[in-house]
Amino acid sequence: MLEIKDLHVSVGEREILKGLTLSVKAGEVAAIMGPNGTGKSTLSYVIAGREGYEATTGDVRLNGENILDLDPAERAAKGVFLAFQYPVEIPGVATMTFLKAALNAQRRARGEPELQTPEFMKRVKEAAASLGIAQDMLRRPLNAGFSGGEKKRMEILQMALLQPRLAILDETDSGLDIDALRVVADGVNALRSPERAFIVITHYQRLLEYIRPDSVHVMAQGRIMRSGGPELALELEERGYQDYIAQEAA
């Protein structure tokens, strides 16, 4: 599904990703763990296509296609979804209006017919109900004045609606209490499928108790330092990231 090879990325003058290589298969849930400031969010931005996060060398392929030259909207239409660590507030734009615009823009880009309002409403309502999102929240401006938990749930609602091929969850657990974490994790688990891949970025092992990963990758100093199975997360929880930071210094 996703193949990243020797990726170098600079933001401004600073090189953040320094030869990152990662492969995620369809149906796989890959966890990326690592200390603060190692470029985890940068990786998510590069995959999603954020301006200012340009690859100097390397390759990012989605189902065999190099996506680095595509703009964010084109990548989204091809199935890339980023659940933001800090979802952005959009005053004046009703959540429902935004959801419909996004879904239909993707459908248009893929040459699919736009969804008409009744069918769209049905899908939104179902997804909202399963995530415990009240109807009146959908009429409010997107994320404006939402609590941290509400914003994260709204990210999962968008994911459920847009049905991406590759979903990147950037610190989706941050700022969530245990109940909200469970709701969000249930939402993610419900979307797991053999055709869909997930990259779950987190500091803590806690989220991975709810979203069980197939693979765990340790990221430090702009690279994947080690890859393994779910047991690697437990080891990290016990020993911390000191080994990887020390390794770099040596």
Partner 1 sequence: MIKLASEAEATLSSFYEEMRDKGAPRLRAAGWASFSESGVPNRRVESWHYTDLKTAMGRPAPLATASRAALSLPRAHDSLRLVTLDGVFRPDLSDIARLPDGVVAQSLRDALAQGEPHVLSALASADIGAQDPILALNAALMQDGVVIQIAPGAAIDRAIELATLASAESAQSTYTRALVMLGEGARATMIETLGALSSAPAQDNSALVLRLAPGARLELVTHFSGGVDQAIRVASLLAHLDAGAMINSFALIEGEGLNRRQIFARLDGENAKAVFNGATLGRGRLHADTTLIMDHAKPCGESREVFRNILDDQSVGVFQGKVIVRPGAQKTDGVMQSKALLLSEQAAMNNKPELEIFADDVQCGHGATCGRLDKDQLFYLTARGLPRREAEALLIEGFANEAMDAIEDEQLRAFLSDRVSAWLSRRISR
Size of site (CB under 8 A) for partner 1: 31
Residue 244 as a binder of partner 1 (CB under 8 A): the answer is no
C-alpha closest to that of 205 among 230, 179, 242, 170: 230
Nearer to partner 1, 75 or 223 (CB): 75
Contact between 70 and partner 1 by CB under 8 A: the answer reads: no
Does 73 participate in binding partner 1 (rule CB under 8 A)? yes
* Burial (CB count <10 Å: 0-12, 13-18, 19+), residue 32: buried
* Nearest approach, Cβ of residue 88 and partner 1 (Å): 4
Q: State which residue, 120 or 210, has the beta carbon closest to partner 1.
A: 120
Q: Which of 12, 64, 91, 111 binds partner 1 (CB under 8 A)?
A: 91
From the list 1-9, 26-34, 79-87, 223-231, the region that binds partner 1 by CB under 8 A is: 79-87
CB of 133 or CB of 236, closer to partner 1: 133
34 counts as binding partner 1 under rule CB under 8 A = no
Q: Does 72 bind partner 1 (CB under 8 A)?
A: yes
Check binding of 68 to partner 1 (CB under 8 A). Answer: no
Q: Select the span of 6-14, 28-36, 71-79, 191-199 touching partner 1 (CB under 8 A).
A: 71-79
**If binding is defined by CB under 8 A, does position 103 make contact with partner 1?**
yes
- Least separation in angstroms between residue 153's CB and partner 1 is 16
| Contact footprint for partner 1 (CB under 8 A) | 48-51, 71-73, 75-77, 80-82, 84, 87-88, 90-93, 97-98, 101-103, 105-106, 109, 141, 158, 162
